[in-house]
Chain A
């Protein structure tokens, strides 16, 4: 037996990986803020979330005629200290609010108030805002108010979309609490609100009565949203590996059953993830299946190496 096989690598737990990831990207954000104080950064990436990043330190800037941002003591953090309005036009914007990051889609408007000490409220008037928020444990509250729907943050990465009649919440990591019509609903990583069942039920209802609807945001199903592409599903599953490995495995399985290039990648990823979770038998089966189906696939060498470790 070779030495490398004798010496197992002590795995890091999922919670530890999550902590490492969180701390890493806080350091990335701090490094970016240090590198670009008091400037408006225009990113070259085509996606809206990267279209524009506003990083202001020790200054007041105006966006849409009435936006004010000011930094606190350190240049690495930018905190809204007065009620501020941000409106995006054709391009989106990325803004730091204390320890949180808000990514605004094009044609969106938010009002931001509060700070890290008092808590932050983001009022979404229209459009979509994607939030990266540190866990609230020991921190003041962070909430997104979208009309009849309030999203209270527990500590997560999530997005809220508001149209004239509809509000959608998509949670990538962590948990948020949706408060609407006197009800509270916890939405976890990988989940959406309203759920399909709520939307379907709302769609099947008779035309709305003059009284307020029980779930006002669900009266218009978001049928305009296209289904996620295989690539998007794969990327979602990849992001869920740490926080919801069961869900990630399920998504990979579903993708793998569809075939195609992303199905091929998903089959390998499922095998790798099962191995990480200590499910050696299932991992072996999946990796062998990958090699049988895609002997020259991009991860074929990786699959062989993993199988070698399993022997």
Chain B
């Protein structure tokens, strides 16, 4: 993070804390996709996204008083967003995640059939993740799907790197256990992409 960006982030946070709606809107416009991406990766659908994005930003506005610029504002926002996602997972009753409404977004050169298979595999993956402990699930998602390093995940989840590695490993083990009985899921979470090689 450049010093200029750091100063700008601190200034924006200060204005948000002062209750300046224009600053809060600026922050919302700047970071809404980041918040959405994190929530989507963790939850696997947009089913309750409207409310969750709002809750995340309300928490962000409320907690920015504690932002001192030690980490980037983006990391701060990730941290709050993950807390919101965790609270949501921890309190909701187990319900099947529906990816049926996933838009047919082009994915590289994959054929329509491949995309359909990908969606099917994703649906199965999130069904498995629903049975994984929430912190393990979040750690695995951030590391494997979001591509964050173990250190970054640890920072966002306010945990040690060792504990984060353990969480990722446990989630991976649970997913692989299911994948052994499910060829589609197995292919989808191949070892190269299952998150054990980094961090």
- Chain A residues at the B interface, C-beta cutoff of 8 Å: 1-12, 16-17, 19-21, 23-25, 27-28, 31-32, 41, 43-45, 47, 49-50, 53, 132, 235, 238-239, 241-242, 276, 296, 298
Interface 1/0s, chain B 155-199, versus A by CB < 8 A? Answer: 000000000000000000000000000000000110011110000
Closest residue of B by beta carbon distance from A94: B21
Beyond contacts A9-B37, A21-B32, A45-B20: 8 other A-B pairs, Cβ-Cβ < 8 A, are A4-B144, A5-B108, A8-B107, A20-B53, A24-B57, A27-B58, A43-B20, A47-B22
Closest residue of A by beta carbon distance from B49: A12
Q: Of the 9-residue stretches B23-31, B76-84, B86-94, B131-139, which lies at the interface with chain A? A: B23-31
Q: Determine the chain B residues whose CB is within 8 A of the CB of A7 once the complex forms.
A: 41, 118, 122, 145
The distance in angstroms between the C-alpha atoms of A238 and B12, with both chains bound, is 15
Partner of A23, one of B15, B25, B54, B107: B54
Partner of B19, one of A9, A32, A241: A32
| A-B residue pairs in contact (CB < 8 Å), sample of 27 | A2-B144, A3-B145, A3-B188, A3-B189, A4-B41, A4-B145, A6-B118, A6-B193, A7-B118, A8-B102, A8-B107, A9-B36, A9-B41, A10-B46, A11-B105, A19-B50, A24-B28, A25-B25, A27-B54, A27-B58, A43-B18, A49-B22, A53-B19, A238-B30, A242-B29, A276-B33, A298-B5
Q: Determine the chain B residues whose CB is within 8 A of the CB of A45 once the complex forms.
A: 15, 18-20
Check A235/B26 contact, CB under 8 A, given A2-B193, A11-B105, A45-B15. yes
Q: Determine the chain A residues whose CB is within 8 A of the CB of B192 once the complex forms.
A: 2
Interface 1/0s, chain B 126-158, versus A by CB < 8 A? Answer: 000000000000000000111100000000000
Q: How far is the CB of B125 from chain A (nearest CB, A)?
A: 8
The distance in angstroms between the C-alpha atoms of A9 and B193, with both chains bound, is 17
Say yes or no: A6 contacts B102, CB within 8 Å. no
Check A241/B107 contact, CB under 8 A, given A24-B58, A43-B20, A50-B19. no
Q: Does B4 contact A (CB under 8 A)?
A: yes
The distance in angstroms between the C-alpha atoms of A298 and B58, with both chains bound, is 26
Q: Determine the chain B residues whose CB is within 8 A of the CB of A276 once the complex forms.
A: 33
Q: Does B103 contact A (CB under 8 A)?
A: yes
The distance in angstroms between the C-alpha atoms of A242 and B21, with both chains bound, is 17
The distance in angstroms between the C-alpha atoms of A120 and B66, with both chains bound, is 40
Say yes or no: A44 contacts B18, CB within 8 Å. yes
The distance in angstroms between the C-alpha atoms of A7 and B102, with both chains bound, is 10
Q: Determine the chain B residues whose CB is within 8 A of the CB of A238 once the complex forms.
A: 26, 29-30
Say yes or no: B189 contacts A12, CB within 8 Å. no
Q: Determine the chain B residues whose CB is within 8 A of the CB of A47 once the complex forms.
A: 20, 22
Q: Does B67 contact A (CB under 8 A)?
A: no
Closest residue of B by beta carbon distance from A275: B33
Q: Determine the chain B residues whose CB is within 8 A of the CB of A3 once the complex forms.
A: 144-145, 188-189, 193-195
Say yes or no: A10 contacts B105, CB within 8 Å. yes
